[in-house]
Amino acid sequence: MLFEPTLEKMLAMKLNGMAEALEEQRRSLNAGTLSFEERLGFLVERQWLWKQNRALATRLKYARLRQSAVIEDVNYRHPRGLSRGVMEQLSGSDWLNHAQNCIITGPTGVGKTYLACALAQNACRSGYRTLYFYAPKLFRELAACQADGSLPAFLKKLARARLLVVDDWGLEKASPVQYRDFLEVLDDRIGYASTLITSQFPTDRWHELIGDATVADAILDRLVHSAHRINLDGKSMRDPKGRTA
């Protein structure tokens, strides 16, 4: 076999994982003891892993998560009312497959953002397109898009995400127009995609935050129905660098 031309063709076809494995086999003293089928199997497996890792990196970059968090590092020792069973249920894909929502509430510092980012990272690992937004920034983006006429394109981008994370809902009050735009975001997701909300405020105070009872009812109806609820309590978990788990 002409090694270099073969390697160049693999790279030209973006078979990088297979090319790396081929080079390793060439250097390995044990490669000669393997059958053709075994060597081919290793090449294909490496290409599959390379492609999966590249796709995951792309999804994580697109999601723009606020924290680098993983389900496996969630802290269950801190007394904050976090159920391991609920997190294990959410670490699967059923709630995303059925377009269910998740609402995480609790005081500042108890790990709401970390849990949201861990679930979002897990969704990316499971192959789902995910988007993270800090709630005040999302509402500012909605207002800017409303002003420059790009709102339809932005709404389409949000609708394409199988998981939309809105972190720190209620931290800043939005305008009535922005709440109605957010309602449209939720309308586009019903029955198709999941939304994860974190907030310092329990849902029974959202009418007070939104102001318009009709819009508040509509938002709650689209979010709370079939939503998984995580209600946290307790003292802040923040370390000196401001991170929580």
CATH number at residue 150: 3.40.50.300
Domain assignment present for 241: no
Q: Which of 19, 35, 62 is the last residue of a domain?
A: 62
Task: Give me the pLDDT at residue 33, please.
Answer: 75
**Within 10 A of 160 (CB to CB), how many other CB atoms are there?**
13
Do 45 and 72 fall into the same domain? no
Q: What's the whole-model pTM score? A: 0.80
pLDDT computed for residue 239 by the predictor? 60
Do 21 and 74 reside in the same domain of the chain? no
Regarding whether 151 and 105 lie in a shared domain, the answer is yes
Same domain, 43 and 90: no
Residues in the chain with pLDDT < 70?
1-2, 29, 31-32, 239-245
Give yes or no: residues 28 and 76 share one domain.
no
> How many domains does one find in the chain?
2
Q: What is the largest CA-CA distance in the chain?
A: 73
Residue 155: per-residue pLDDT: 93
- Domain range enclosing 40: 3-62
How high is the pLDDT of residue 2? Answer: 66
Q: Which of 39, 62, 85 is the last residue of a domain?
A: 62
Residue 131 CB coordination number (10 Å): 19
Q: What's residue 135's pLDDT?
A: 95
- Determine the pLDDT at residue 101: 96
Residues 24 and 91 in one domain: no
Shared-domain flag, residues 116 and 178: yes
Output the pLDDT for position 3. 72
Rounded-to-integer distance, Cα 2 and Cα 97, Å: 47
Which pLDDT does position 23 carry in this prediction? 78
Task: Check whether residue 79 and residue 98 sit in a common domain.
Answer: yes
